[in-house]
């Protein structure tokens, strides 16, 4: 499948049209951005790592009954995906308080939450991706009440699957962001990516951060951390 016209270039990926108009080619870039692109950088090989990590996690989720946009891998940094209309929400699921939740609510960093917290953020860079409640979503006509409920259920299901998968591999899944879209039949599919750019992983034993916080906080060793996450994913553990 050959790349045709560039449809969209985002912060972490490029989306291309291809011969089949129901499909797109998603190319993972080496670019890194944080704080709504106020901080930018590059890490050679990061795109390939995220492509591989995301592919493995989407396959795991498919095996566990979550419908996703993934069709197949095309090269080390390209996936063939089903074209969807993205629901403009970042669905964030949190197990442990850190980052913006700590800043906003004053909860102590590292506090284990009593339940998986699901949040919606409006995917709008100009507005700085603001937090939305259900009524904001209805007001902006982003999704129906039923769809919001479906997104919360899917977010929690994905969390349950990923959390136990990573725990067996010595990683604590602190939080993550996912995006969903609708295919032409109206099915809600998990889309975009799941990678250390969009998740937080803390090593169970050492508490070391193995995700994009290394870039956000200037800790160094970004690529090594992403490689470590991939190694743990590929570990054959029952
Ligand atoms: N299957 C898909 N069909 C259509 N759009 C998609 C699909 N998967 C992801 N996208 C969208 O493509 C873009 C991916 O590029 P990315 O670099 O992540 O963008 P951003 O800078 O918005 O985070 C995102 O806007 C995402 O919502
Ligand atoms: Mg993105």
Closest to 233 measured CA to CA, from 80, 58, 94, 98: 58
Mutate to test the pocket of ligand 1, among 92, 181, 192, 194 (most ligand atoms within 8 A of CB): 192
Residue 25 Cα to ligand 1 midpoint, Å, equals 11
The verdict on pTM exceeding 0.85 is yes
- Establish whether residue 53 lines the binding site of ligand 1, counting it when its CB lies within 6 angstroms of any ligand atom: no
- Determine the Cα angle at 18 with ends 13 and 20, to 5°: 130
Q: Using CA atoms, how far apart are residues 214 and 98, in angstroms rounded to an integer?
A: 14
Query: What ranges do the domains of the chain cover?
Result: 6-82, 86-224
Q: Please, what is the average pLDDT of the chain?
A: 97
Q: What CATH code would you report for 6-82?
A: 3.30.200.20
- Establish whether residue 181 lines the binding site of ligand 1, counting it when its CB lies within 6 angstroms of any ligand atom: yes
Residue 238 Cα to ligand 2 midpoint, Å, equals 31
- Establish whether residue 192 lines the binding site of ligand 1, counting it when its CB lies within 6 angstroms of any ligand atom: yes
Q: Using CA positions, which residue lies closest to atom 19 of ligand 1?
A: 10
- The arrangement of secondary structure in 86-224, i.e. its CATH architecture, is 2-Layer Sandwich (3.30)
Has residue 169 got a pLDDT over 90?
Answer: yes
pLDDT digits (tens, 9 = 90+) for 54-99: 999 999 999 999 999 999 999 999 999 999 999 999 999 999 999 9
The single residue listed with the structure tokens 């995220």 is 50
């Amino acid at each position: 499948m050959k790349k045709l016209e560039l449809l969209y270039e985002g912060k972490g990926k490029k989306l291309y049209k291809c011969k089949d108009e129901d499909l797109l080619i998603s190319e993972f870039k080496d670019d890194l951005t944080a704080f709504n692109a106020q901080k930018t950088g590059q890490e050679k090989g990061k795109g390939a790592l995220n492509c591989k990590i995301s592919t493995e996690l989407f396959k795991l989720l498919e095996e566990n009954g979550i419908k996703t946009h993934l069709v197949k891998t095309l090269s080390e940094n390209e996936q063939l995906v089903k074209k969807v209309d993205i629901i403009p929400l970042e669905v964030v699921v949190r197990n442990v308080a850190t980052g913006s939740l700590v800043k906003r609510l004053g909860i102590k960093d590292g506090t284990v939450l009593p339940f998986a917290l699901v949040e919606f953020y409006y995917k709008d860079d100009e507005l700085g991706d603001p937090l939305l409640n259900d009524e904001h979503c209805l007001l902006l006509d982003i999704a129906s009440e039923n769809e919001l409920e479906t997104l919360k259920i899917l977010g929690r299901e994905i969390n349950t699957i990923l959390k136990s998968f990573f725990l067996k591999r010595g990683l604590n899944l602190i939080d993550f962001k996912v995006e969903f879209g609708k295919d032409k039949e109206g099915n809600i599919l998990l889309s975009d990516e799941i990678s250390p750019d969009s998740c937080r992983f803390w090593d169970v034993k050492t508490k070391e951060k193995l995700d994009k916080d290394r870039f956000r906080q200037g800790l160094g060793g970004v690529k090594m951390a992403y490689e470590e996450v991939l190694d743990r994913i590929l570990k054959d553990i029952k």
